[in-house]
Structure 1
């Protein structure tokens, strides 16, 4: 595991298996023993091995050990780290939006990586636990109700006039304000079993920390010495009681308010746990810190170079360095701009990016990103197509797909550069179905459109890649000129010096395996091959 880089980018031309390789790369980090076991199982063929690896990858993704995103031009810091989002509470007539700070995919993964899963199980805290603020009785009033709740592992609120909240009748009662309805909804439904509740003790302090341990109930007969109107009850396992702990910094320097119950969007359980332990507060029922290493987490960023990296990562680009990670010798933390919380990147968070070299060369990539990532080049691999041959028994023509790919890439590299080669992944369907029809579909729908993009519709150079300018007279070329000559159009002494750019794709070429065979070399098809006459398809308006 130590040998696997924390930050790596797989780069290469399109179709070289970068996204495909993510499964293996992620399992090298998250479950290397399983990866080794499957790869060494000689009873499994290649397809069966891939199926098992992908299944394990999906399981880890379901467990939220893997997060996946794709960068694009509109992707922002607010999507990646945190931003302000408008939300509407689930209470019935709550149509007014609340603006809350929402964590992005990277911040969520970092919070998950900080989780002590073993301890959470002991305490009954669920993954992705929300944190809620609860007021039990008046702060300046008697503490009998609060003390009773602490000693009996429950939390209580009033509003006996709302009746049994499970009926939801209160939602249609105009006597209750939207704030009151939201608070009652949060108490009875919003807080899930395994969520964290913090008991209010002032505008910045809490007096207790608990975990919701059961469903809501209405209790008409209230025990002594509880206030008689406190009929709404939820079971809670109190982990800390009678403390004086400020959550103001964790809450982005925002004061708590006296609303009975609401979600604290800025506070997460892992960060709260860290802050409590730093102040010497040991959670009731929590065992000593486990010697088991923290579980690794993986963030996959597809097309990482298509986004504005400086804008997306912001100040966190520095924190990606191994020496700047939390717990490292030169660990750094930053204060996030919206939540005002301290933030650092855990050492068990791995980033795997992919980038297409045709979108942007490495030389143009953000220098700060390049310094903090290990780059692994994935180039076309003709060996992956070794033994794949498309044959036509009737004509005796055959096409070696590995050679076809190699020859085309040699020409592309000579005419353009190595970063625009064709990947082997385009031709992988032929491993299962090596037919002319499948080969034609690949050329028609993927290879030719890609070559058009590469060469900016310079059809003469596309024809060179396909060897069309040298094909035998009876072998249909993929690309050919069409229309009458310039002399016919403008006269013998027309004086027109423009280059004739009228080219068209010849549909007959897709029907002839010989057209594919002569991409590799001329004279590779039988001399007696008879190809019926054909009319070229016109490009554009055909004039």
Structure 2
């Protein structure tokens, strides 16, 4: 049977309202526990409403029966429900119980005072059943309803409110009565920073988490939710749609790849052509303002035009009145012929540029391209660039952002990605691109997510221009990801404990930027075997530690709990006949190597003890070695 609120909750609210809680008073303790029960039920009530009516919503409740200040008992419990994750946090639907009143559903402001609260109270009027945005159910009626029935009552009350959530928000925060609902909602989508970098040691899931962050931006996915195969499918679909672009920076990556550059190609006449091609960044900026759809439409128009004039001449005139003939022998390329010249190839990109940005000025001696563009504009229905897609976010993911030369890749456009310099903002900037001579600005609905391996380059040495324009989100190793790995010989939590202890040592011996990421151990989720764990240590962890500590084997040994995975090897004194025994002994301490015996031939019990030694080192632990030390030395 579904849980219900009890009359005693209202009795306690009424009896203790405004009284300071006395920790030594058993009656106060009892009242506190009862009111916590009421708070839990209020939370469940809100969760049911969220599930039924606000699938993409977010509900929360701070279940504390006393005020933060003064430690006095409240006379109510309440939970807030935001219709959509990422919307404003200043206004919410609320549900709860109040002493001597009953069950309440309303639209209410959150943590607001002054003029905003006054505007709200003008709309709400009296805080009772006569308010256009408040609904009340008596105590007797409410305690006889299940939580499901209370949720249904709240949902119906919300539907019956005189003003919707959007209308209340508009009336409070927007004085302009002409503000449209779409504009209102667009002001609520910018929950996440426009420019952010996920940074941390190798293997902490930075690239993996870009999927979570991208979906959080595009569809309000909860960042705390575990990633599923369905999420990865959504991510791929968004990439196919062009809503997400992914690029990896490297030392050879440049402005021409990222923004735009001149590319050499051949036409049907085997002539070299030099066209300006957009890079990844310009392409997604164009998509974000709807320009790419226009360009695709123009490409179709140009292809159709070339096919139409195939072996059929079209007479046109330049701006100065000179007649010329347009033709296409192949049905793909466009050429012109005049009375004084042979056939000239005309770049489709030049024609497209005039269509996209009409001008009466002839650029770069392209009189023929200008005339053809004019003809197509007058004779065909070509789409116009739109900018009303600003409420639809786009995401550019830059993996390994610190591996590229930022000045070389972004050039003068690094300024344009700043929040305040984005198109549509008060301080918006527009620059002219050097190759195409086109004006360019960065739309404010484009989000940039970078990843950076902090063990590859410390955060302090990152390009200052980059650091100033991005928010940095640290991604540290998460041992809890490995807590359910159950290796029979070690038990649950052993792997997560091993990672946690090793990283504590690394932080002391080196720094936090060189911790070992949990991703190195995630193969154990599919194959939780001791052999697999030993393989990970031999082939992945020890080589990583060699790189981190520059082959300082003493420190590597300390990180591993001196468990014998690396060890000093016997040294043949005949190799250095002129050295005395003390010198030989000194060299012997430097003669480190991986203990192949432990990883390959050692009995199972010895391997188990070596792994346990990482977590709980023992003074009397003996380093596992081959019985034949001569063979080991050789």
Quickly name the TM-score band, shorter chain normalised.
0.5 to 0.7
Q: How far apart, in 1, do the equivalents of 2:630 and 2:397 lie?
A: 46
Determine if contact 2:290/2:386 at 8 Å carries over to the other structure.
Answer: no
Determine if contact 2:598/2:624 at 8 Å carries over to the other structure.
Answer: no
Determine if contact 2:406/2:463 at 8 Å carries over to the other structure.
Answer: yes
Higher Rg: 2
Q: How far apart, in 2, do the equivalents of 1:504 and 1:360 lie?
A: 28
Determine if contact 1:75/1:307 at 8 Å carries over to the other structure.
Answer: yes
- The answer to whether the aligner puts 1:415 opposite 2:509 as a matched pair is yes
Q: How far apart, in 2, do the equivalents of 1:386 and 1:258 lie?
A: 69
- The answer to whether the aligner puts 1:362 opposite 2:459 as a matched pair is yes
- The answer to whether the aligner puts 1:66 opposite 2:244 as a matched pair is yes
Q: Deviations over 1:370-407 (max 9, x none)?
A: 11101100101111111323223xxx788700100011
Q: Deviations over 1:217-271 (max 9, x none)?
A: xxxxxxxxxxxxxxxxxxxxxxxxxxx952658xxx4232437999x9xxxxxxx
- The answer to whether the aligner puts 1:402 opposite 2:496 as a matched pair is yes
Query: How far did 1:8 drift?
Result: 0.2
2:568 to 481, 484, 492: 481
Q: How far apart, in 1, do the equivalents of 2:244 and 2:259 lie?
A: 16
2:273 to 73, 98, 109: 98
In the superposition, the TM-score normalised over structure 1's length comes to 0.66
Determine if contact 2:318/2:367 at 8 Å carries over to the other structure.
Answer: no
CA separation of 1:510 and 1:84: change in aligned 2, threshold 3 A: same
CA separation of 1:399 and 1:27: change in aligned 2, threshold 3 A: closer
Structure 1 equivalent of residue 96 of structure 2: none
Structure 2 equivalent of residue 296 of structure 1: 393
Q: How far apart, in 2, do the equivalents of 1:83 and 1:413 lie?
A: 45
Determine if contact 1:300/1:352 at 8 Å carries over to the other structure.
Answer: yes
Query: How far did 1:535 drift?
Result: 5.9
Q: How far apart, in 2, do the equivalents of 1:297 and 1:88 lie?
A: 34
How many residues align? The count is 420
- The answer to whether the aligner puts 1:496 opposite 2:583 as a matched pair is yes
- Show structure 1 runs of 5+ residues with no match: 41-45, 147-155, 171-176, 199-203, 211-243, 265-275, 472-476
Structure 1 equivalent of residue 197 of structure 2: 9
Structure 2 equivalent of residue 218 of structure 1: none
Q: Secondary structure at the match of 2:503?
A: helix
Q: How far apart, in 2, do the equivalents of 1:524 and 1:257 lie?
A: 87
Structure 2 equivalent of residue 258 of structure 1: 368
Q: How far apart, in 1, do the equivalents of 2:477 and 2:486 lie?
A: 18
- The answer to whether the aligner puts 1:75 opposite 2:253 as a matched pair is yes
CA separation of 1:384 and 1:301: change in aligned 2, threshold 3 A: same
Matches within 5 A, 1:59-458: 59-89=237-267, 91=268, 93-94=269-270, 96-115=271-290, 126=297, 136-139=314-317, 158=327, 245-246=358-359, 248=361, 253-258=363-368, 293-392=390-489, 400-458=494-552
Determine if contact 2:534/2:599 at 8 Å carries over to the other structure.
Answer: yes
Q: How far apart, in 2, do the equivalents of 1:518 and 1:364 lie?
A: 37
Determine if contact 1:83/1:103 at 8 Å carries over to the other structure.
Answer: yes
Q: Deviations over 1:135-176 (max 9, x none)?
A: 9413169x9x99xxxxxxxxx9557xx6xx67x9x9xxxxxx
- Which structure's residues are more often helix, by fraction? 2
Q: How far apart, in 2, do the equivalents of 1:480 and 1:258 lie?
A: 77
Query: How far did 1:84 drift?
Result: 1.9
Q: How far apart, in 1, do the equivalents of 2:555 and 2:264 lie?
A: 52
Query: How far did 1:338 drift?
Result: 1.6
Higher relative contact order (CA 8 A, sep 6+): 1
Q: Which moved more, 1:22-31 or 1:383-392?
A: 383-392
CA separation of 1:523 and 1:130: change in aligned 2, threshold 3 A: farther
- The answer to whether the aligner puts 1:506 opposite 2:506 as a matched pair is no
Q: Secondary structure at the match of 2:415?
A: helix
In the superposition, the TM-score normalised over structure 2's length comes to 0.57
